[in-house]
Amino acid sequence: MSGQGKIAYQGEPGANSHMACAQVYPGMEAVPCASFEDALDAVASGAAELGMIPIENSANGRVADVHHLMPTAQLHIVGEYFMPIHHQLLAAPGATLKTVRTAQSHVQALGQCRRKLRELGLTPVIGADTAGSAREIAEARDPSRAAIASPLAATEYGLEILAADIEDFANNTTRFLILSRRKDWAPAGDGLTVTTFVFKVRNIPAALYKALGGFATNGVNMTKLESYQLDGAFVATQFYADVEGHPDDPALKRALDELAFFSSELAILGVYRAHEFRIAARLAEAEKAQAKGGR
């Protein structure tokens, strides 16, 4: 993808998504959007060439809204990015750990710092996003209020870091998806590829079991499978999945053909190169399994 133009993200300047944009596409103008819907709409309308959207976190699970929005956004996944997330406890100049009583941030960030907040005796307060919470704390100048946000947000809004890297897990990592209006599949046979798709199974007995059986029998590694209800109805379930491989690979092609037979709907959202983080994790797991088998 081009490194020029605009890239949209949810949040305010200084958000972790803003940092991800800067790290992956330093030559592009990062455009803040109030909501995930606004960020997706910016890409769909042509106001931005790309979107950088968080999909899941290693400590706090999926970003729920995104799974509902992705299938209807009419956009294509063209890449993924795994970014280590380090949260800072920020407050206005003059505040200390003895004066702060609350910590405001996005619900995901609060969940990723749950243990540390209890240790510090701080009451979590849900904000719209991390950087927006930092801005509000900077404007309030209340020594009893703190925000959880990035180091970039501290610089952006003139806040002091009262406690650094307060995430509960040192390996705290968020996976982002890079979205485009254009379908731009990675070529087959060029390294590890990820295929993302959504599907709804037919209303027949054991449909899900039969639909997924092709991935097992063809040796396709499914790295993610999520289910969620559609339109508030308990009977309408959609599934979101990531698998390793390219639709042109014979094994994955057979698995997808079998899935399609047992599904009422199937749509591929993207075919893209695996990020180096995923590749390294895959190699580490293989080495661990090999070491265990050699005992």
The residue count for the chain: 295
Q: Are 167 and 116 in contact (CB under 8 A)?
A: yes
Label residues 170-196 b or e (16+ Cβ within 10 Å = b). Answer: eebbbbbbbbbbeeebbeeeeeebbbb
Phi, psi of 130 (to 5 degrees): -70, -55
* β-pair partners for 201: 263
Q: Are 130 and 110 in contact (CB under 8 A)?
A: no
Q: Tell me the catalytic residues.
A: 174, 176
Q: Which residues contact 27 (CB under 8 A, 6 or more apart)?
A: 3, 4
State the Cα–Cα distance between residues 50 and 104, nearest whole angstrom.
29
Alpha helices, DSSP H, located in the chain: 16-24, 36-45, 64-69, 107-112, 114-120, 130-140, 151-157, 207-217, 250-261, 276-293
State the Cα–Cα distance between residues 187 and 41, nearest whole angstrom.
27
| Angle, alpha carbons 226-249-265 (nearest 5°) | 40
